[in-house]
Chains A and B, each alone.
Chain A
Amino acid sequence: MIMDLEKKFAHIKGWGVDADPKNEPTYPMKKYTGDDHQRLNWERPEEQPVTVEILHSNERPGLPAVFGTSTPPSGLSGNIRRFAFKYSESSYGHWLPLLLADRVNVVEGIIDDLRKGHVPNIFAEKGYKAAWTHNRAGVIKKVAITALATTALILLWKSGKAKKR
């Protein structure tokens, strides 16, 4: 049977080279060493100095030995993130405020750009040059739908105003 398979798949380079009959499928998940029972008591790497504010999960006692220092929390979004980290990773109280903070952060990003005298080119940032090159019909359709929807909204608003009068 196996010989038949080898013959059948002879055209596929490398067929079966990793098919170890003793393959213990849980191996990829864990090569058990017993270290788990020592809990967090391994010999820790040297700890990175804390130079910016780092928020950490309340499911761990402190910071890991290394961490990223990119974009520390700031502004309103930073306050929302600090609030989120009062809750565990198991709680919506953690993740939903973080998503909210991300959206607030987008507005903060635009304000920050303008403050620095940079008007963000939203079209370029959204890759519209590529869209125009590779999907012109799609861009035209999108623009037409947006224009149509905007016009409809304006007309609706105007007619509502006229009725009130």
Chain B
Amino acid sequence: MLAMNYRGPFRVRAEQKPAPEILHPEDAIVRVLRSCICGSDLHLYHGLVPDTRVGTTFGHEFIGIVEDIGPGVKNLKVGDKVLVPFNIACGKCAFCKQELFGNCHESNPEATAVGGIYGYSHTAGGFDGGQAEYVRVPYADVGPVIIPEDMDPDDAVLLTDVVPTGYQAAEMGGIKKGDTVVVFGAGPVGIMAAKCAWLFGAGRVIVIDHIEYRLDFVRKYAQCEAYNFRSMEDPVVFLKKTTDWFGADVCIDAVGGDAAGNAMQTITGRKLMLQAGSATALHWAINSVKKGGIVSIVGVYGPTDNLIPIGNVVNKGITIRANQASVKRLLPRLIEHIRSGYIDPKAIISHRVPLEEVADAYHIFSAKLDNCIKPILIPPSARQ
């Protein structure tokens, strides 16, 4: 089958590799119809995530058709069209029972801090991902959801990660009606977090980024304010001033370790890798939120350490909430929101690229060329 193949930082290609097989009674094999490149795939692409092995296939956002099932699968049948949450979850461990599907303890041998994730390095379990024609889906009775007949496949593929992650970012913010919410990052997740902040009753939503076309997009899409941090001397002072010198009620870090905006963070975090990515957005979030405010983190960082002003977290009495989105828990609510027209996920798709051109798609997304917001990859077998 054709699959994306990682060759090293900033180098990927599409090439043939053996199709996946059933390895466990609860496995399914899914023929991929669409897969996305996620902003967090760029952390892998940039070589920031340890134990990213040459030859692996990325991709944790995909939908497809069930081609084969193991003898233990009861809820799915061959031919079902499914969306597959990016978390691999057993449904039986103490964490899954508490709906922490992003923290499953039965899906990742290599690290205990994170559950299994499709195509997200061996630090997340060593599973091949969905930027391929076929993918192995473990615990097929737990994660995958049959795509409702009335749902556009483009909406469905964005329900595997982007929409739930953006929604959970807002949810973890504990937003009260009238709150001012600041979202750092106007990438797909930041855009969705800004959109979802309104659903929780935000009174003001502000997005901070430095890519003009993305700021323009989020202003229209999420009906919010959006500012370029390059145009201000200090984003923290700007945010204090614009909140009557009080600070935002809620700050959301939707950037993670690839953040720009601070030379020291960029050099130590992204270039020299002396910390687990650049923590500029988190630094700003902690310093921009009000005393007693909430900082919600969905941006992805590596597993080592980061330079953040932890003293200010203590002194300001800030609550920090963070997690990988628990996609399965959120899906019923989000499907309803799409049906009601509250969220229009497919509007963020900017590029449709054949899987054969995966290297170009990664470069365009990484270098933010051609006004790229969200690229999706279409395998050859899905184009026939």
> Does A165 lie at the interface of the complex (its beta carbon under 8 Å from any beta carbon of B)?
no
Which residue, A23, A38, A109, A130, has most C-beta atoms of chain B within 10 A? A130
Please judge, given known A-B contacts A14-B198, A16-B177, A28-B171, whether A120 and B24 are in contact too, CB under 8 Å: no
- Are B369 and A46 in touch, CB under 8 angstroms? no
> Does A158 lie at the interface of the complex (its beta carbon under 8 Å from any beta carbon of B)?
no
- Are A55 and B201 in touch, CB under 8 angstroms? no
> Does A160 lie at the interface of the complex (its beta carbon under 8 Å from any beta carbon of B)?
no
Type the 1/0 row for B78-104, where 1 means its CB is closer than 8 Å to any CB of A: 000000000010101110011110000
Please judge, given known A-B contacts A28-B168, A28-B326, A46-B26, whether A127 and B364 are in contact too, CB under 8 Å: yes
Residues of A within 8 A of B (CB): 1-2, 5, 8-9, 11-19, 23, 25-26, 28-33, 35-36, 38-40, 42-46, 48-49, 51, 54-57, 59-60, 63-71, 77, 81, 85, 89, 92, 95, 98-99, 101-103, 105-106, 108-110, 120-122, 124-131, 134-135, 138
- Are B201 and A19 in touch, CB under 8 angstroms? yes
Q: List 23 A-B contacts (CB under 8 A).
A: A5-B201, A8-B203, A13-B341, A16-B200, A18-B200, A31-B99, A48-B23, A54-B126, A55-B110, A63-B109, A64-B109, A66-B106, A67-B107, A67-B108, A67-B126, A70-B57, A71-B55, A85-B110, A89-B112, A95-B302, A120-B7, A120-B13, A127-B364
- Are B201 and A15 in touch, CB under 8 angstroms? yes
Please judge, given known A-B contacts A14-B342, A102-B51, whether A9 and B56 are in contact too, CB under 8 Å: no
- Tell me how far the C-beta of B123 lies from the nearest C-beta in chain A, rounded to whole angstroms: 8
Q: Which of A55, A56, A92 contacts B304 (CB 8 A)?
A: A92
Give the contact stretch, choosing among B148-156, B240-248, B355-363.
B355-363
Residues of B1-47 at the interface with A, using a CB-CB cut-off of 8 Å, are 7-13, 23-27, 47
Please judge, given known A-B contacts A66-B139, A68-B128, A127-B364, whether A49 and B105 are in contact too, CB under 8 Å: no
- Are A5 and B54 in touch, CB under 8 angstroms? no
> Does B261 lie at the interface of the complex (its beta carbon under 8 Å from any beta carbon of A)?
no
Please judge, given known A-B contacts A25-B172, A68-B125, A95-B304, whether A16 and B201 are in contact too, CB under 8 Å: yes
